[in-house]
Structure 1
């Protein structure tokens, strides 16, 4: 994987993963930002939405139910989230999801 960083301050925006001759744009925690594409287009996608997508509402899957949440922190291969759904049955401030992917974690 190749890191994509912001030019002015070096902040990590996300990654590019090689996939059969093209590149898949990924968030800082490895979530796909779209379909694989040529390197420049994939890099542009990470620059455009790599950090912005972290501020959107998300949903996580637990016991067969999808619950709304917000991302508190994002790191390589994990996110710390805060459930933000009145239906969520547990009284917790935050949860850590390891290796979140589309089957268990998705933008709302």
Structure 2
């Protein structure tokens, strides 16, 4: 996490939605994966962007680029500034051994939303 990032939490439950980064005369919304979500805006614009984004994107399917260059469908299991953990998609089958991968924070370009093209 960048030292200038300012936490932004939901007012109703205090859940961390992301950060706001002062940049020039404005503020940039940073999501929980450490990705910039807006250009520099007024403070309230950056707050509104994080509020509108929410956290539902964390439950979406993602893809992780493997060493051989292929893309593996994965799910986020843990997201923090200490690192990001994902597991290979198992479609809820408890008989399949779980394969996990630990990634740095912010999330690298080798992790993308499922179906996104590079």
Q: Same fold (TM over 0.5)?
A: yes
Unaligned runs of 5+ in 2: 91-96
Is 1:78 aligned with 2:95?
A: no
Runs of 4+ in 1 over 6 A off after TM superposition: none
C-alpha RMSD over aligned residues: 2.2
Q: Between Structure 1 and Structure 2, which shows a larger proportion of strand residues?
A: 1
Q: TM-score, normalised by structure 2?
A: 0.72
Question: 1:55-101: CA deviations, max 9, x gaps?
Answer: 1111222222222211111111521111228xxxxx64321111244
Q: CA deviation at 1:29?
A: 3.4
Q: Which has the larger radius of gyration?
A: 2
Unaligned runs of 5+ in 1: 86-90
Q: TM-score, normalised by structure 1?
A: 0.77
Question: 1:24-47: CA deviations, max 9, x gaps?
Answer: 212223123344433211111111
